[in-house]
Structure 1
């Protein structure tokens, strides 16, 4: 399911047929290859309509016949299947999960496995870029969020959060297809897209759910706040662990422990995160003639190759791409 950039441009795609190769092509993207395999001596048919907006792609898909759809490569997204009728089994190394009209499933692209369609099936599929989910979590937790989010793999669709997720996804999909008005309302589209991701992060258990709950209920210690204030005031200057601890009036050990408890990282890793954010902002707003090397060195990144790798891991693109396409006067 092809995805567009985070600018929330809307794209639309329709596929229908009986050829497994055509279905494989319709479901694959430039980053993820999927293949459809009908059961022996079994004919299949499919009809899928996809709409993409920024980091989210939604598709209403109808399948006929028993088949397996297997992923051939990894991608950094999650796929949520919200069934309307029919059963399928998510097959993975961690076990099998049966999806029915009362139970949705979440597939993380880093997992092994396949989808085994047991019978005719229709579901609403949501593909979300995990980078965008991590960005939202970073804002909530005020700390870098690396790696897979490891969502729970089942969603109860009969009540509570699952029902709300189904309703919001249905509304968003209806507003994106064909000539629906949401396609011409970018602010409303962005709000609904962000709302869907926020609902997912707040209501479906994942690796950092407890940290989200703690952020809302536990005040951050004063010495941690002081450390962050000192970091922000000295982002472009050399800063040592000893200087941080002295500025906060605590030992380096205490500061390390507090950052691990309340920010899920170390003080120096948090400083690195703030500097990446600062470099990102300046690359977006760079003046003509500024280079990646200039900006990297300003924010304390001496090793340009390592800076580029860390930047790409955080923002999903190389710093040169940000400078080229988003800075004033850059190509759009």
Structure 2
């Protein structure tokens, strides 16, 4: 799988194990113990990337019975990283539709019937106010919404690949924060923050609308600035849950999707004006610095490439003159 395409770097720790005896020390550190079900075909691997407030561990496991004591004071999420995952957790059958989440401590029992690929995203206790983990000390399983689960998986893969080929990006605080923010927003989507679940602060419709207007004004005032949920919530003096809840209530989508949609439409409007501009100039003017990601999002939204839009804009401008 993707392990073969990765190379270790200063930002990516890559470890491969050829036999279970070499793997045992890792398990002991993690308070885990496996009984392999197929010793002759044993193979395991780990890829590890650290971001400012979380760590990503993508693992290739093996057929086994596993007992483990998870200790996650800041919370953790376990994602399937392939379409053919087969396992059970505390007697519950799991496949690639499921993800698992935990905050606190829990002793868990798994059976993996085959080689599986999964990601552990372990959050720092310093990361607060996301509203993800209402239950403590219980590993809970949930069927993820398909698009959100796929997006989270793809984002993890992109972070690993970036850490492998461009490790210096992780040395820049703003870039690492940008990568982490994308992951946190993906977790918001996956874990379904619902404003109605906030019993202590029910958001009135008028207040939500005012908050969304402030977001609109902020995006307009700072078209190229990276926008992080925590910073925006702090700027407005509200919690992240309140901010996310307002967007869900008024716009029917997450903050990340909404801001990206607004900036895509603003970019499109600039492209349609034609003239001597370029796709890259228009994209960067709206805060899209990763042009490959921008092009993919643009095409998915408008069903044409940015260059096609620009060409139509130039033709319209020529006819007008």
TM-score (norm 2): 0.49
TM-score (normalizing by structure 1): 0.48
